[in-house]
Structure 1
Amino acid sequence: MNYMDERILSLKNKLNQDAASNNGITTLAQTIIADHGNSPFEKNSALRLGDELITLEMRVILDGKMEVSVPKAFNLMPPEQAKFKYPSEHRPEVIYTSENGTVNITFNRTETLLAVEELPEFVEQMADVLRSVQPIRNWMGTQVIVNGFDLSIGMIRFIAAGVDTNLYNEILLFIHEGQVMMGTFNCMESDMGVWLPVAENTVQSLHSAPSPLYPAFEKGADSQ
Structure 2
Amino acid sequence: MNYMDEHILSLKNKINHDVASNNENMNLSQPAVSDQDNSAAEQNRMLRMGDELIPLEWKTISDGQMGVSIPKSFSLMPLEQVRFKYPSEHRPQIIYTSLDGTVNITFNPTESALEVDELPEFVEQMADVLRSVQPIRNWIGTEMIVNRSGLSIGLVRFVAAGVDFNLYNEMLLFIHEGQVTMGTFNCIESDMEAWLPVAENTVQSLHIVPFPSNSTFEKGVAFL
TM-score w.r.t. the length of structure 1 is 0.88
Question: How far apart, CA to CA, are the structure 2 residues paired with 1:217 and 1:21?
Answer: 26
Q: Is the aligned partner of 1:89 residue 2:84?
A: no
Structure 1 residues 107-146: aligned runs within 5 Å: 107-146=107-146
Question: What is the CA deviation profile of residues 22-47 of structure 1, one whole-angstrom value per residue up to 9, with x for unaligned ones?
Answer: 149xxxxxxxxxxxxxxxxx722010
> SS of the counterpart of 1:22?
helix
The alignment's C-alpha RMSD in Å is 1.5
Runs of 4+ deviating beyond 2 Å: 211-221
- Classify the secondary structure of the residue corresponding to 1:14: helix
Match in the other structure for 1:99: 99
Matched length: 206
Identity of aligned residues (%): 71
Correspondence for 1:222: 223
Decide whether the 8 Å contact of 2:135 with 2:161 is kept in 1. Answer: yes
Alpha-carbon distance in 2 for matches of 1:114, 1:106: 21
- Give the alignment of 1:1-224 within 5 angstroms: 1-23=1-23, 43-214=43-214, 217-220=218-221, 222=223
Aligned counterparts of 1:119 and 1:51: Cα–Cα separation in 2: 37
Amino acid at match of 2:177: E
Q: Is the 8 A contact 1:63 1:217 kept in 2?
A: no
Give the TM-score, by structure 2 length: 0.88
Q: Is contact 2:60–2:213 with CA below 8 Å preserved after alignment?
A: no
CA contact (8 A) 2:213 2:219 kept: no
Cα displacement string for residues 111-142 of structure 1 (whole angstroms, at most 9, x for unaligned residues): 00100000000000000000000000000000
Q: Using the alignment, how far apart are the partners of 1:221 and 1:3 within structure 2?
A: 28
The separation in 2 between residues aligned to 1:219 and 1:45, in whole angstroms, is: 19
Amino acid of the structure 2 residue aligned with 1:82? V
Partner of 1:35: none
How far apart are 1:217 and its partner, in Å?
4.8
Listed as ranges, the gaps of 5+ residues in structure 1 are 25-41
One-letter amino acid of the structure 2 residue matched with residue 220 of structure 1? V
**CA displacement 1:160-195 (0-9 Å, x = unmatched):** 001110010000000011110010000000110110
> SS of the residue aligned with 1:154?
strand
1:84-117 deviations in Å (ceiling 9; x for gaps): 1111111111100000000000001000010000
